[in-house]
Amino acid sequence: MRRAVYPGSFDPPTNGHVDIARRASYLVDELIVAVGVNVHKVSLFTSEERVQMLQESLVDLKNIKVMSYSGLLVDFLSTVQSSIIVRGLRNETDFASEMEMAQINSQLSPGVETIFLPAKDSQLFLSSSCVREVASLGGDVTSWVPEKVLHYLKNKL
């Protein structure tokens, strides 16, 4: 069985994340969307909330599982018996940092491969931080996040 892991902060999940998860799920037997728990990073949503938002937003995709992990991504990969990491690429900045992470992960765990999916044209600008910023200032983020996430944002802000 070909299983891949799509890791990220997802604080909150955006339509860009959902698009990458959907397209990646077509390429493998099972996709695990993995919410990274980083105690050193201040987040708007708890990891439980981020897992819930992803589960609700991806409910129609039957071969996707949402989990959270802490510690090294390569350790999580071996726990779930996967050697494929999926990441999205929006621009040169993503490319530079993603190449570095891919190399680090393959040094830490030879055999682990990172697959990049290009962001959709209409979502090149879209990030969780821009959603947090615009929503906190009262702007309309309806077209940037799944409907389920809108409710979480309204309750949080």
Q: Considering only 61-69, 72-80, 82-90, 145-153, which stretch makes contact with ligand ADP by CB under 6 A?
A: 82-90
CA quadruple 114, 119, 120, 124: dihedral, nearest 10: 180
Residues 6+ apart with CB under 8 A from 28: 2, 3, 4, 63, 84
- Footprint (CB under 6 A) of ligand ADP, residues 7-66: 8-10, 14, 16-17, 20
Check the CA dihedral 7-48-70-78 and report its sign. Answer: negative
Residue 3 vs 116, nearer CB to ligand ADP: 116
DSSP state of 118: E
Taking CB under 6 A as the rule, does residue 132 contact ligand ADP? Answer: no
Q: What is the separation, in whole angstroms, between the first and last Cα of the chain?
A: 41
Binding residues for ligand ADP restricted to 105-124, rule: CB under 6 A: 119, 123
Residue nearest to ligand ADP (CB): 16
Annotated catalytic residue within 17, 50, 87, 132 = 17
In the set 3, 55, 127, 130, which binds ligand ADP (CB under 6 A)?
127
Q: How many CA atoms lie within 13 A of 65 on its CB side?
A: 12
- What angle (nearest 5°) sits at the alpha carbon of residue 82, between those of residues 79 and 83? 120
Q: Give the nearer residue to ligand ADP in terms of CB position, either 88 or 146.
A: 88
- Residue 30 or residue 33: which is nearer to ligand ADP going by CB? 33
Q: Are 50 and 10 in contact (CB under 8 A)?
A: yes
Catalytic machinery residues? 17, 41, 90, 128
Q: Which residues bind to ligand ADP, rule: CB under 6 A?
A: 8-10, 14, 16-17, 20, 87-88, 90, 94, 119, 123, 126-128
